[in-house]
């Protein structure tokens, strides 16, 4: 079989004029049992879903006032009418009675993204086109679609960021971070995704809706913190001083009943020094403490006194034991 013959069969099939054997052949191909390759994997699935949804909601204008004005109304040219007929014939042939109308094929260029990265040891402020502000914690990154704000407001976050979102009831603001999706209309809040399994959201003002893995997790109000552990499927909401915790971008690093591993990671990113917790007994500790303009040695001394751990400074970084 050559490419020409394949083209012929497919076209005849789509046009509904294939012979029984040809139909059978195409359907065998369509319905063949696939070697189970398993799921996509959590990480990939979530990124892909977010990416697809972003494109779909953008190009279909889903969040744009419900009325699609910007999208060209399909012109039913001869070409289109032909394909509508073809589609209908195709569907009838396959044994279902479905009328599937095709939209015009004018494909818009794919959305491209700008990446904003903050290096370890450096925080960064980024102002979005709608003048919403994003403060990136050291060692974090942001992806902003180039058409941000045109149809919707969605961005992708890795790491930790504090957001001051400009009020716009018609265009919800979405932060996608791995499996965690945060939706707001206009507020300020922080999202912190340690890895694919741990996430924290703190709300400073307004209301924030949170989804994890496409399930609604919580709606947070000001001074509430959600800590989510995907491994334990455990969501914990507690009261915090959001003003304090979210003001690291003013140079003050604060922790309030924060799990020690989270605090240590923040310190590590902040000072750009690898810190390893060797003694597992410290992993379950929490810490409440504030730092401002202190050196890493001062910070480690304070931490070790508060928690009671010892640490040593090595060539590769700091080890807590």
**Rounded CA gap, 189 and 177, in Å?**
14
User: Is 113 among the residues that bind other proteins (CB under 8 A)?
Assistant: no
Q: By C-alpha distance, which of 196, 224, 198, 194 is closest to 209?
A: 224
User: Is 150 among the residues that bind other proteins (CB under 8 A)?
Assistant: no
CB of 167 to other proteins, least distance (A): 19
- Cβ proximity of 235 and 227 under 8 Å: yes
User: Is 306 among the residues that bind other proteins (CB under 8 A)?
Assistant: no
User: Applying CB under 8 A, which of residues 17, 41, 48, 308 lies at the interface with other proteins?
Assistant: 48
Q: By C-alpha distance, which of 33, 54, 30, 50 is closest to 42?
A: 50
User: Is 66 among the residues that bind other proteins (CB under 8 A)?
Assistant: yes
Half-sphere exposure of 222 (CA within 13 A, CB side): 8
User: Is 112 among the residues that bind other proteins (CB under 8 A)?
Assistant: no
User: Applying CB under 8 A, which of residues 37, 234, 284, 316 lies at the interface with other proteins?
Assistant: 37
Scanning 44-52, 258-266, 301-309, 310-318 for contacts with other proteins by CB under 8 A, the matching segment is: 44-52
Write the CB contacts of 98 (distance below 8 Å, at least 6 apart in sequence): 91
- Cβ proximity of 309 and 264 under 8 Å: no
**Of the two residues 199 and 217, which places its CB atom closer to other proteins in the complex?**
217
Site string for other proteins, 204-223 (x = CB under 8 A): ----------xxx-------
- DSSP assignment of 181-227 equals EEEESS-EEEEEEEETTEEEEEEEES-EEEEETTEEEEEE-TTEEEE
- Cβ proximity of 210 and 189 under 8 Å: no
Pairing mode, strands 317-320 and 275-277: parallel
User: Is 32 among the residues that bind other proteins (CB under 8 A)?
Assistant: yes
CB of 78 to other proteins, least distance (A): 17
Q: Residues in contact with other proteins, total (CB under 8 A)?
A: 56
User: Is 57 among the residues that bind other proteins (CB under 8 A)?
Assistant: yes
User: Is 282 among the residues that bind other proteins (CB under 8 A)?
Assistant: no
Q: Which residues contribute to the site for other proteins (CB under 8 A)?
A: 1-3, 5-7, 9-11, 13-14, 19, 21-22, 25-26, 28-30, 32, 34, 37, 39-40, 45, 48-49, 51-53, 55-57, 59-60, 62-63, 66, 68, 71, 87, 90-91, 94, 96-103, 107, 214-216
């Amino acid at each position: 079989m050559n490419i020409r013959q394949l083209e012929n069969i497919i076209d005849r099939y789509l046009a509904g004029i294939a012979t029984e054997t040809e139909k059978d052949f195409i359907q065998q191909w369509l319905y063949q049992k696939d070697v189970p390759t398993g799921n996509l994997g959590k990480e990939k699935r979530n990124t892909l879903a977010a990416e697809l949804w972003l494109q779909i909601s953008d190009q279909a204008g889903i969040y744009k006032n419900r009325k699609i004005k910007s999208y060209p109304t399909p012109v039913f040219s001869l070409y289109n009418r032909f394909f509508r007929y073809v589609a209908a014939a195709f569907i009838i042939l396959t044994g279902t009675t479905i009328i599937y109308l095709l939209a015009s094929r004018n494909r818009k260029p794919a959305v491209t993204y700008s990446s904003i990265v903050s290096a370890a040891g450096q925080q960064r402020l980024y102002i979005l086109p709608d003048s919403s502000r994003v403060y990136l914690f050291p060692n974090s990154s942001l992806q902003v679609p180039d058409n941000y704000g045109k149809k919707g407001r969605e961005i992708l976050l890795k790491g930790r960021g504090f957001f001051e979102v400009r009020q716009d009831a018609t265009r919800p603001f979405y932060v996608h971070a791995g499996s965690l999706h945060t939706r707001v209309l206009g507020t300020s809040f922080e999202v912190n995704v340690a890895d694919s399994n741990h996430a924290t959201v703190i709300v400073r003002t307004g209301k924030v809706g949170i989804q994890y893995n496409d399930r609604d997790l919580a709606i947070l109000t000001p001074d509430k913190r959600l800590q989510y552990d995907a491994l334990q499927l455990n969501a914990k909401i507690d009261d915090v001083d959001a003003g304090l915790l979210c003001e690291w971008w003013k140079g003050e690093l604060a922790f309030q009943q924060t799990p020690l591993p989270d605090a240590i990671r923040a310190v590590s990113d902040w000072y750009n020094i690898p810190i390893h917790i060797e003694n597992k007994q410290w992993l379950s500790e929490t810490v409440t403490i504030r730092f401002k303009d202190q050196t890493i040695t001062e910070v480690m001394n304070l931490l070790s006194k508060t928690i009671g751990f010892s640490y040593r400074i090595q060539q590769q970084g700091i080890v807590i034991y």
